Amino acid sequence: MHAHDILTLCGLATAGFACQWLAWRLKLPAILFLLGAGIVAGPVLGWLDPDALFGDLLTPIVSVAVAIILFEGSLTLKLSEIRDHGSVVRNLVTVGVVITWALAGLAAWYFLDWDPYLAALFGAVVTVSGPTVVMPLLRAVRTVSNVSSILRWESILIDPLGAILALLVFDVIISMQAGAGFGHIAVNVAAIALIGTILGVAGGYLFGIAVRKRVIPDLLRDYAALAAVLTVFAVAEVLRSESGFLAVTIMGVWLANMRHVELEDILDFKESITLLLLGALFILLAAKLDITEMTLIGSGALAVIALLQLVAGPIRAFVSAIGSPLNWRETLYVGWVFPRGIVAAAVSSLFALRLVEIDYPGANSLVPLVFTVIIGTVVLQSITAKLVARALGVLEPEPTGVLIVGSNPLARLLAKAIQDSGRRVRVADSHYAGIREARMMGLPVFYGSPVSSYAERGLDITGLGTLIAASRRPGLNELACVRFTADFGRDHVFVLGRRLEKSHEKHSISGAVSGRILFGGEHTIDDLASRVASGQAIKSTELTDEFGFDDYRKQNPNSLILFAIDDNDQLKFPLKDEPFDPAAGWTITALV
């Protein structure tokens, strides 16, 4: 391999990391920077030529990468959650998908004079959005809980469903291009669906059983998951071309819905692999763009984006919200926020490569249009999301809820006390037994590491404005404080102190970085845990003019104050080196 090729491959990894780090810092979807880097490196400067770098291997490489991305995305599709999150989400990922498909296809056919089948394929591709583009917007624009919950769950659930629709439309086009009649097309699509479904279900079931029965050691579980996905994909493609993507998607959905199968470690591994693939893949795909093609479709593409944003979005939202408690302002905002993302870019690029190979007319225009829609919707909605939310009155009031990292007995008691005070609370941890106990106490929970990329998509912080890091793992507390300072602000990030040996002090992270230290730093998490274990209970007391804080102290000399609610209904904590002077009208909650 030439030194130039080595430099290019290593540069892809570095550029991918740089783009995703920049997106994280700016709270913008990473795909925006990845596509921009690819366009600059490829058609603008001519530094990167994917065809020259990979040759005939480009299509197989993209195919394998897309298969892994589809599998990872489908692992989040729990069918029970479609039911649990109400009729609006269910309608958006079913009826709404059909509305978007039809109107987007009509727009490409009318404004760009495309072949009806290619237009239908484009319509299917842009029915997907995805949490990687929606979640950064929701973190930057804190909307009321019902709106943010709908947008969040729609983005998670719609990816695999829209991908399956796009795959079936693509299979129809491939069959027609081969000269098959309607009967043969129906048989071919049915065969693809049957083989993909059987292999996907079989692969998901067998791997799930292996995980459940611990046939595979923890050390090899991630490797086994990747090998299983690639095996299912390869076998399906050998049996019937184009069935592999459906197989891996169904495999992921099956695994996500199996009972007693712990997927946390696999999700973390798949996210790491996917992040690496995304960085390199989208820079490569964007480098293949033809600037001339993008220029030719310019005005037509803008018309398509306008129709998707101003017509298709509101229609799908209002139809999906029929009979729901959403008002017209909330419904309109749900229709406004629908940026296209990773799955749309990945599958459209793969479809275009396959269609070019069989000389399908107009195939070279598919990717430029999809990428233009992605860039256009992401940029437009990143700029306007907060302005539109403010204009429609759907911005969230000052959040008063608390996110608690850790599910040990102390963390659970603290969460329950805060919940009983009338505040929203959520317990986040990857310790299953603790999360199960928290759920049995009626506490909202998030099972998974709160600092993982999985949490970026799945952890709902709507209504939460304060963090308490109460895990028994100091490293997790420190990472959580650093991670959520960007969302809650430094003044609202707190951590339980821990006793440090002198030899370890130089390795600890300072309170200025890891969070404000609760309880004056005098009471560590071990001290509090021992109080709970000894039988101390949490009790709330309201202060009055007749019974002030001094009286409370005399009556409860050994109590440990956890928090207080002041006369303005603000949550107050006793902190190190800061005054804490409860007055009449305050309610004190303490371990007594």
With a cut of 50, say whether residue 221 has pLDDT above it: yes
Same domain membership, residue 574 and residue 427: yes
Burial of 320 (0-12, 13-18, 19+ CB in 10 A): buried
184/344: higher pLDDT = 344
Q: Would you say residue 31 lies in a domain?
A: yes
Q: Would you say residue 310 lies in a domain?
A: yes
User: 476-522, pLDDT tens digit by residue?
Assistant: 888 888 888 878 888 889 888 765 444 444 444 444 446 788 876 56
Of 392, 419, 451, the residue at which a domain comes to its end is 392
Q: Would you say residue 53 lies in a domain?
A: no
Same domain membership, residue 153 and residue 235: yes
Write down the pTM of the prediction. Answer: 0.71
Which pLDDT score, from 0 to 100, does residue 508 have?
44
**What single-letter amino acid sits at 573?**
F
DSSP secondary structure string for all residues of 94-153: THHHHHHHHHHHHHHHHHH---HHHHHHHHHHTT---HHHHHHHHHHS-B-HHHHHHHHH
Same domain membership, residue 455 and residue 371: no
Residue among 397, 388, 414 nearest 463 (CA)? 397
Q: Dihedral sign for Cα 512, 514, 516, 518, please.
A: negative
Phi then psi for residue 117, to 5 deg, are -75, -40
> Which residues, 6 or more positions from 168, have their beta carbon under 8 angstroms from its beta carbon?
124, 189, 192, 193, 246
Same domain membership, residue 487 and residue 348: no
With a cut of 50, say whether residue 244 has pLDDT above it: yes
User: 541-592, pLDDT tens digit by residue?
Assistant: 888 888 888 888 888 888 888 888 888 888 888 886 777 788 888 888 888 8
- SS3 string, 186-234, reads HHHHHHHHHHHHHHHHHHHHHHHHHHHCCCCCHHHHHHHHHHHHHHHHH
* Tally of domains in the chain: 2
User: 329-342, pLDDT tens digit by residue?
Assistant: 999 999 999 888 77
Phi then psi for residue 369, to 5 deg, are -70, -45
Residue 574 near residue 553 (C-beta atoms within 8 A): no
Residue 27 near residue 290 (C-beta atoms within 8 A): no
Same domain membership, residue 376 and residue 417: no
Phi then psi for residue 587, to 5 deg, are -115, 120
**What single-letter amino acid sits at 191?**
A
3-state secondary structure (DSSP) of residue 340: coil
Q: Would you say residue 263 lies in a domain?
A: yes
Q: Would you say residue 55 lies in a domain?
A: no
Cβ atoms within 10 Å, residue 11: 15
Which pLDDT score, from 0 to 100, does residue 477 have?
87
Same domain membership, residue 387 and residue 524: no
Which pLDDT score, from 0 to 100, does residue 120 have?
93
Residue 434 near residue 410 (C-beta atoms within 8 A): no
With a cut of 50, say whether residue 248 has pLDDT above it: yes
Same domain membership, residue 343 and residue 430: no
Q: What is the distance between the alpha carbons of residues 204 and 256, in angstroms, rounded to a whole number? A: 9
Same domain membership, residue 386 and residue 432: no
Q: Would you say residue 193 lies in a domain?
A: yes
> Alpha carbon of 486 to those of 327, 448, 466: distances in Å?
31, 20, 11
Residue among 337, 338, 342 nearest 286 (CA)? 342
**What is the domain-level CATH number for residue 95?**
1.20.1530.20
3-state secondary structure (DSSP) of residue 418: helix
Same domain membership, residue 411 and residue 364: no
User: 420-476, pLDDT tens digit by residue?
Assistant: 888 899 999 988 889 999 999 999 999 888 887 777 777 888 788 899 998 888 888
**What is the domain-level CATH number for residue 440?**
3.40.50.720
Residue among 373, 410, 183, 240 nearest 294 (CA)? 373
pLDDT, mean over the chain? 83
Same domain membership, residue 138 and residue 93: yes
With a cut of 50, say whether residue 534 has pLDDT above it: yes
Beta-bridged to residue 588, according to DSSP, are 541, 564
Same domain membership, residue 387 and residue 412: no
Percent of the chain with pLDDT over 90: 21
Domain containing residue 366: 3-44+60-392
Same domain membership, residue 263 and residue 246: yes
Of 371, 392, 413, the residue at which a domain comes to its end is 392
Q: Would you say residue 54 lies in a domain?
A: no
User: 264-308, pLDDT tens digit by residue?
Assistant: 666 666 666 767 777 788 888 888 887 777 777 878 899 999 999
Q: Would you say residue 458 lies in a domain?
A: yes
Residue 222 near residue 273 (C-beta atoms within 8 A): no
Two tokens at 540?
């709330």
- What order of strands is seen across the sheet that includes strand 560-565? 538-542, 587-591, 560-565, 571-572
Cβ atoms within 10 Å, residue 146: 18
Of 336, 361, 392, the residue at which a domain comes to its end is 392
Which H/E stretch holds residue 517? strand 516-517
